[in-house]
Amino acid sequence: MEITEKLIKTHSLSREEALELLKHTKDPAAVAKLARAAVEIRRRYYGDKVFTRGLIEFTNYCKNNCYYCGIRGGNLHAVRYRLAEEEIMDCCRNGYDLGFRTFVLQGGEDPFYTDEKIAGLVKGIKKRYPDCAVTLSIGEKTREAYRMFRDAGADRYLLRHETANEEHYKRLHPAGMSLRARKQCLYDLKDLGYQVGAGFMVGSPGQTPECLAEDLVFLQELKPQMVGMGPFIPHHDTRFAGEPAGSVELTLFLLSVVRLLLPKVLLPATTALGTMDPCGRERGLEAGANVVMPNLSPVKNRKQYDLYDNKICTGEEAAEGFECLRQKVASAGYRLVSERGDFCGADE
C-alpha cells in the first residue's frame, strides 16, 4: 500500500514507515492529500470548532539550561520577571471576560513557585472559575507534586518531550537532564488522570528524519491527548544562535501526520508557527490543527518571555486581537468557540 494511503487507512506508522513517509515532505500531492484527510477526520470529531486557550506566561525564571531556549537559567542577559498571584488572577479575569474557558499557566522551572504555591494558584483559579479548565506547563516535577496539582484541580499538563531520540536529546540539553526522566513525567501525568500534551520543535539543531520517525513512534506509544509542535526558532543568546529555523512546510506536514495518527488529539497552531509565517495559524488549521493559544500575559512582560527571536506578541496571537482572530478563523471556515475544549475521546 502506498505510504500516505496506509497512514490514512490505519492511523498508524512503524518507524520504517514513518521514515518512508518523511521522504514525501516536499511532494505537493502527498502534502495536499494528507492535509485533506487530516481536516476531514478532525471535522468528524470536532466539527468546525476551534478551541482557544488563554496563555499566561507567569514566570521566566528557570533553573534549567536547555540549550535552545532564550529563558534558560544560564542566559544572564534575560530580563527576569514573575507575576504575583493577583496579576495572574487579573489575567484570568480578563481572559474569562473575553470568552476563554481554559487557562494555561506556563513558565520556566522557577523554584520561587513551590509545589504548594502552584497548588494554591490552581485552587484559586478553579474556585473563581469552576467552569474553566486549568492547564499547567511548568516542566519536570515529582509524581507527588503532579498529584498535588491534580488534587488542587489541574485538568491538563503540557510537557513536550522535545525529541524521542537519546543522542539528539543530549545535544539539546545539559547532562543533568534526560529523556528518560522527561518520559517518566509524561507517563506519571497520564497515570494521574491529566489530559497530557507531549510534543517537539520541528527543525531543532541535529534533528534528522530518524529523530522525527522516533517522535512519531513515541507519540503513538504515549497516546497523549494534546501534541504541541512548532518550528525551532534560534535565540541570539544561545549556542544555537546561528542555526537555521525549522521549516513551516515541514511543521504543517507533521501537523497533518499527527492528526492522522491520533485522530482526536488537541493540536495547537502554535505561536512559533505564527512567528515564522503571518498566516501560520490559519495554515495550521488547514493542516489539521484545532487549537489556538492567544497570550493573556500582561503586555509589559510579554517581550520578556523571550524563548526565541522575534516572538510575536501584539497581534492576533494576543488576547487583545481576539476579535480579529475570531474573524480570521471564521474566514478560514471554522468557528472559534468559548468552551473548555476537552479531549473528545475516552482516556486511554
Q: Which residues bind ligand SAM (CB under 6 A)?
A: 68-69, 106, 108-109, 137-139, 159-160, 162, 201, 230, 232-233, 235, 272, 307-308
Closest separation between CB of residue 65 and ligand SAM, Å?
11
| Comparison of 246 and 334: residue with beta carbon closer to ligand SAM | 246
| Comparison of 110 and 282: residue with beta carbon closer to ligand SAM | 110
Q: What letter does residue 268 receive in the DSSP assignment?
A: B
| Comparison of 95 and 203: residue with beta carbon closer to ligand SAM | 203
DSSP E strands in 36-101: the ranges are: 49-52, 54-59
Closest separation between CB of residue 210 and ligand SAM, Å?
19
| Comparison of 139 and 294: residue with beta carbon closer to ligand SAM | 139
| Comparison of 38 and 69: residue with beta carbon closer to ligand SAM | 69
Whether 158 contacts 136, CB under 8 Å: yes
Q: Say how many Å lie between the first and final Cα of the chain, rounded.
A: 28
What SS3 string covers 203-222? CCCCCCHHHHHHHHHHHHHH
Q: Which residue(s) pair with 82 in the sheet? A: 59
Judged by DSSP in three states, 104 sits in: strand
Judged by DSSP in three states, 344 sits in: coil
Closest separation between CB of residue 270 and ligand SAM, Å?
8
| Percent helix, percent strand, percent coil in the chain, to nearest 5 | 45, 15, 40
| Comparison of 15 and 239: residue with beta carbon closer to ligand SAM | 239
| Comparison of 30 and 62: residue with beta carbon closer to ligand SAM | 62
Q: Which residue(s) pair with 197 in the sheet? A: 158, 226
| Comparison of 129 and 308: residue with beta carbon closer to ligand SAM | 308
- CA-nearest of 234, 312, 326 to 282 is 326
Closest separation between CB of residue 296 and ligand SAM, Å?
16
> Which cell is 54 given?
488563554
| Comparison of 229 and 329: residue with beta carbon closer to ligand SAM | 229
Query: What is the Cβ-side half-sphere exposure of residue 115, based on CA atoms within 13 angstroms?
Result: 12
Closest separation between CB of residue 108 and ligand SAM, Å?
5
Closest separation between CB of residue 323 and ligand SAM, Å?
27
Whether 12 contacts 220, CB under 8 Å: yes
> Which element (helix H / strand E) includes 175?
none
Angle between helices 248-261 and 3-10 (to 10 degrees): 40
Cα separation of 226 and 281, whole Å?
A: 17
Closest separation between CB of residue 346 and ligand SAM, Å?
26
Buried b (16+ CB within 10 A) or exposed e, 259-273: bbbbbbbbbbbbbbb
Closest separation between CB of residue 136 and ligand SAM, Å?
9
Closest separation between CB of residue 100 and ligand SAM, Å?
19
Whether 274 contacts 293, CB under 8 Å: no
